[in-house]
Structure 1
């Protein structure tokens, strides 16, 4: 009679922490946003985490990660303007619009720096952009990139986006580097392709780095390597507070009784509160307790004479 081989002892489960805050991660090239999130969540031993919109593996730069209660406000960064530094190579178009695709066409580059600057200026303001086939947008329930991989091209409806700033940083032909601040939904590789067509030579993106998301910048960002090398007790020093995501919202402070009612989801009469004009004119505000350490209570809408709770921050004392 044979006996079953002994089973390997199971590793003890690492306890997960109820952690609230925002990590400004400087994502490296070659790593997906989801893989970066998984690694950071594991390092922090966090119970709950999410990111604020994907950054392609080809791209590096700012990827804000939300832990715990901060995940409730991640949509605000999904809707925020983004800033990128991008390098495009003129004269070559590819199947994906970036360096990962197959070369489709090669054309001669006959551009001056002044001509490139003039072409960039044509894309400022509100424009209509056709989403690329190699994207996660869905058609009939299937991502566009699945059609593209099967060699199919489907019709895509143009989307209105806004290019707030578009600045030429360097010109070493055939490579051109620019900085762009744009609205949500903008594909920078498509922008590079369109600029290339405007110049009559085509282009594709060879490098992309995100430097800003809303009011957040790379200034306080940290790399995964730095987090991996740090002691466990040192990791929390890189966490920003939950309200780092809400810094552009006007602030409202409530006294104890109003704060208690607000946390129970009750609407408060604006006439009973001390609120400045900026908050009254804003579509949404961030709400704090006047006492209790001035902690964040959540976000609300101030309209029609009332302060209406929208999303609340839950703590052990709520």
Structure 2
């Protein structure tokens, strides 16, 4: 008879649907105060500005330590509505329009399909972008929006990002509703400002929803009515997702002796290790990083093939305490 998983003892990720208004930090704080059991540290995998809504992933029991890997390996998809004709300090319409300039008339009248083709041709693929001056990117230990609130607008250097997919869902000038899938760190507000500039004018976002981080979609997000309440039972099995379901990778399964060596940071010979391929290969986030399990299928961490050996790159503290 299989042993029932104790969800209070494994790293979990909650796919929370953040509404418009509260900060990402306040939602993490709510979960921290109301989950009602000893879950260790807590953290999120990519902030959303207060004006934005959608997928906010929150990790507990060691899951939050995977932050860098989630950012690196899982693309993010957004639905946005932008309004052409005006520029704001924030790149969205929570601030007043301070400069007006409509895009060229030819683009105002252009058919949705034609405009989509033009923008996709220009933006798809490698994309260099500077973080918006009121974004959550840090500079000298503070968020850029914190500098902006203090009257100091910071212009950071452009960094390489990637636009993976772009579709215009609706175009009725001056409104453009679009869906975009991007590499981590891409700012959709800045993207829409660049779209408007390419078309000869200004623009700002009216709506921004993060609809997916990898396979974690807004449709499956935990709505506010289902968030934990102190003193009431919160169904971890229903709402919590194990790490290997959030980040889909191929797997290796280790013997007892190999497990001990892995947790001590020793390299293992690849030809002596059992490799388990995921059944949904098209969803694999990386072929160069592997989930590592012991012979009882307990998740131990991550490893990378390196010169015919398996090198540990991430050990879950929970795994070390339970199985070393």
TM-score, length basis structure 2: 0.83
- What secondary structure sits across from 2:134 in the alignment? coil
Given candidates 84, 102, 112, the residue that maps to 1:90 is: 84
Deviation at residue 96 of structure 1 after TM alignment: 1.1
Deviation at residue 153 of structure 1 after TM alignment: 4.5
Task: Say how many residue pairs are matched.
Answer: 298
Deviation at residue 221 of structure 1 after TM alignment: 1.6
- Confirm or deny: 8 A CA contact 1:18 1:48 kept in the other structure: no
Once the two structures are superposed, residues 230-271 of structure 1 have per-residue CA deviations (whole angstroms, 9 ceiling, x without a partner) of 983342121111322331x21111123222332333221113
Which residue of structure 2 aligns with residue 113 of structure 1? Answer: 111
Q: For 1:147-158, what aligned pairs fall within 5 Å after superposition? A: 147-158=147-158
Deviation at residue 276 of structure 1 after TM alignment: 6.7
Q: For 1:28-107, what aligned pairs fall within 5 Å after superposition? A: 28-45=19-36, 46-79=39-72, 80-107=74-101
Q: For 1:236-315, what aligned pairs fall within 5 Å after superposition? A: 236=236, 237-247=238-248, 249-275=249-275, 282-290=287-295, 292=296, 294-313=297-316, 314-315=318-319
Change (3 A) 1:147 1:254: closer
- Whole-angstrom CA distance in 2 between matches of 1:118 and 1:307: 44
- What secondary structure sits across from 1:232 in the alignment? coil
Once the two structures are superposed, residues 95-124 of structure 1 have per-residue CA deviations (whole angstroms, 9 ceiling, x without a partner) of 111012231222345312345324421211
- Whole-angstrom CA distance in 2 between matches of 1:277 and 1:67: 27
- Whole-angstrom CA distance in 2 between matches of 1:173 and 1:118: 17
- Whole-angstrom CA distance in 2 between matches of 1:222 and 1:305: 42
- Confirm or deny: 8 A CA contact 1:250 1:282 kept in the other structure: yes
Change (3 A) 1:59 1:155: closer
Provide the alpha-carbon RMSD of the alignment. Answer: 2.6
Which residue of structure 1 aligns with residue 133 of structure 2? Answer: 133
Long gaps (5+) in structure 2: 1-7, 279-283
Deviation at residue 139 of structure 1 after TM alignment: 4.5
- Whole-angstrom CA distance in 2 between matches of 1:250 and 1:21: 19
Once the two structures are superposed, residues 200-221 of structure 1 have per-residue CA deviations (whole angstroms, 9 ceiling, x without a partner) of 2311011111011123222432
Q: For 1:124-203, what aligned pairs fall within 5 Å after superposition? A: 124-139=124-139, 143-203=143-203
Deviation at residue 277 of structure 1 after TM alignment: 9.0
Long gaps (5+) in structure 1: 1-16
Change (3 A) 1:210 1:146: closer
Deviation at residue 47 of structure 1 after TM alignment: 3.4
Deviation at residue 69 of structure 1 after TM alignment: 1.9
Deviation at residue 70 of structure 1 after TM alignment: 1.1
Deviation at residue 19 of structure 1 after TM alignment: 6.3
Change (3 A) 1:47 1:56: same
Which residue of structure 2 aligns with residue 3 of structure 1? Answer: none
Q: Mean alpha-carbon deviation: is it higher for 96-105 or for 132-141?
A: 132-141
| Higher radius of gyration, 1 or 2 | 1
Change (3 A) 1:277 1:194: same
- Whole-angstrom CA distance in 2 between matches of 1:44 and 1:28: 19
- Whole-angstrom CA distance in 2 between matches of 1:163 and 1:312: 32
- Confirm or deny: 8 A CA contact 2:294 2:300 kept in the other structure: yes
Once the two structures are superposed, residues 146-176 of structure 1 have per-residue CA deviations (whole angstroms, 9 ceiling, x without a partner) of 5534555554322221111010011232211
